[in-house]
Amino acid sequence: MNIKSSTPFPTAALIGGEWVTSKKTFPVLDPATGDKLADVPDLTPDDAKRAIDAAHQAFPAWAAKPAKERAQILRKWYDLIIAESEALAQLMTAEQGKPLTESRGEVAYGASFIEWFAEEGKRAYGHTIPTTVASRRYVTIKQPIGVCAAITPWNFPIAMITRKVGCALAAGCTIVVKPSEETPLCALALAKLAQDAGVPAGAFNVITTLDSPAVGKVLTADDRVRKLTFTGSTEVGKILYRQCADTIKKLTLELGGNAPLIIFDDADLQQAVAGTMASKFRNAGQTCVCANRILVQAGIFDKFVAALKEAAGKLVVAPGRDAKSTVGPLINADAIEKVKSLLSNAVSQGAKVEMGGKPDDHGALFFSPTVVTGVTADMTIANEEIFGPVASLIRFETEADAIRIANNTPFGLAAYLFSQNVSRAWRVAEALEAGMVGVNEGVFSNEVAPFGGIKQSGLGREGADEGLNEYLETKMICLGGMNA
């Protein structure tokens, strides 16, 4: 790895302020080339317990700090991330594969959560409540929930950590993070910068491991961990949800989606194509909020297909470090196999590949941008997350059809619609069963707006003022026995 940062980025894990190595390690690979970037410690369930011990020990002092002092440390962390943003972007592209321009965007996006929560932590207000009895007064105060655990994914190796850790630390919680085994290096780099910024030992711990199920069991079973936050598949989210039941932990789950993106006849074609491109091909289609089913009304269908093919034809498939790259590799061989199998299954049931549809010759994990038409709502490709650069188009006739098809899924994370008719846009946005709706917009994630899903897409919200509340408990204090 030849990345120039002002302090070298670590390859050891962080427990209680100590950089921890282990005899057993695992390699981190560059998905564009298959080359090894580094070896990181393959930690055990015992190490996870040590990390919880450290977070537990650090909690009282961190929680007792005035929010303003915590904010100053978080602001320093933000500044250090911004100062190292180019090196972090290169690290992200190396281990995750996304194009450098997207990595730069993600570093800024990720840092924005720390900046936002540093300020928002100062506004963890309680209430005073008009009394019911003359001798009493009621108030609420907000207190940090305690030790938290975070299990984070590979597709946004910085932003999905800062969205959780920035918030937890701002609220006065301490945290143990288990990053994806595909992208641990960004997590460790973030932890180093947090340490340099003055986040105290034990407040932010990172454990790298290949044994996610066993480490997950430790994090979910320990009664001292009062909250679990997870971004990943619905399948794993359900396991963690069950495992947290015995200790009644608070949970934030950001799980899978099956986002509908609806283009009505009255859409602005250019806007619809730009929004679809942004939503579908961001991170080579590997986001939970990617348009998974593109529903196009019959009157605009042919024009839209032609315009989408033209736009997708301009994408440049290449290793992310190549300045021209707009579509990097997928994360691993399973991801490529899944895309291939969803496509061949759709084609065998009558779908038509309009462009792409095959692996790209840049390397084993590259797949060509693909547009497929003739998809119907019952096909597997319309019911499972594709997580690849495949735009799957379903034709529909009426607004009611679009809403019915869009909502016919157990998932409810993101949804999108394109229409120039304000009444229709509002009506459909209200009718869509999703936690987030983009109207004439293909990408809406940011630090000030609540991110999260309904139905089997998850619980709770991240970012925004709502995100802070997920790390706080409300305590009611009743002051009684007062003389009139």
Q: Which residues are catalytic, by number?
A: 254, 288
Considering the complex, what minimum distance in angstroms separates the CB of residue 286 from ligand SIN? 8
Which region, judged by CB under 6 A, interacts with ligand SIN, from 151-159, 239-247, 369-377, 421-429?
151-159
Sheet holding 225-231, edge to edge: 18-20, 13-15, 204-206, 174-178, 147-151, 225-231, 250-254, 458-459
Verify binding: residue 415, ligand SIN, rule CB under 6 A: no
Element (H, E) at 400: helix 399-407
Which region, judged by CB under 6 A, interacts with ligand SIN, from 8-16, 263-271, 281-289, 330-338?
281-289
Indicate the burial class of 474 (C-beta count within 10 angstroms; 0-12, 13-18, 19 or more).
exposed
Considering the complex, what minimum distance in angstroms separates the CB of residue 129 from ligand SIN? 36
Grouping H, G, I as helix, E, B as strand and the rest as coil, residue 147 is: strand
Residue from 85, 93, 96, 287 in contact with ligand SIN (CB under 6 A): 287
Verify binding: residue 156, ligand SIN, rule CB under 6 A: yes
Residue among 191, 210, 161 at smallest CA distance from 45: 210
Considering the complex, what minimum distance in angstroms separates the CB of residue 409 from ligand SIN? 17
Interface positions, 39-98, toward ligand SIN (CB under 6 A): none
Verify binding: residue 445, ligand SIN, rule CB under 6 A: yes
**Phi-psi map region of 173: left, alpha, beta (phi>0 left; psi -120 to 50 alpha):** beta
Residues 6+ positions from 33 with CB-CB distance below 8 Å:
319, 363
Considering the complex, what minimum distance in angstroms separates the CB of residue 450 from ligand SIN? 12
Which region, judged by CB under 6 A, interacts with ligand SIN, from 92-100, 115-123, 152-160, 333-341?
152-160
Residue from 90, 103, 112, 155 in contact with ligand SIN (CB under 6 A): 155
Write down the residue that tokens 């290449």 correspond to.
Answer: 318
What is the rounded distance in angstroms from the CA atom of residue 163 to the CA atom of residue 229? 10
CB-wise, 89 or 353, nearer to ligand SIN? 89
Residue 413 token pair: 């994370």
CB 351 within 8 A of CB 341: no
Verify binding: residue 289, ligand SIN, rule CB under 6 A: yes
Residue from 288, 312, 381, 390 in contact with ligand SIN (CB under 6 A): 288
What is the rounded distance in angstroms from the CA atom of residue 374 to the CA atom of residue 97? 31
Interface positions, 225-254, toward ligand SIN (CB under 6 A): 231, 254
CB-wise, 155 or 209, nearer to ligand SIN? 155
Build a one-symbol-per-residue string for 377-406: x at contacts with ligand SIN by CB under 6 A, - elsewhere: ------------------------------
CB-wise, 367 or 451, nearer to ligand SIN? 451
Considering the complex, what minimum distance in angstroms separates the CB of residue 287 from ligand SIN? 4
What is the rounded distance in angstroms from the CA atom of residue 308 to the CA atom of residue 145? 47
Q: Helices 67-83 and 184-197: crossing angle, nearest 10°?
A: 130
Grouping H, G, I as helix, E, B as strand and the rest as coil, residue 434 is: coil
Contacts to ligand SIN by CB under 6 A: 155-156, 159, 231, 254, 287-289, 445, 451
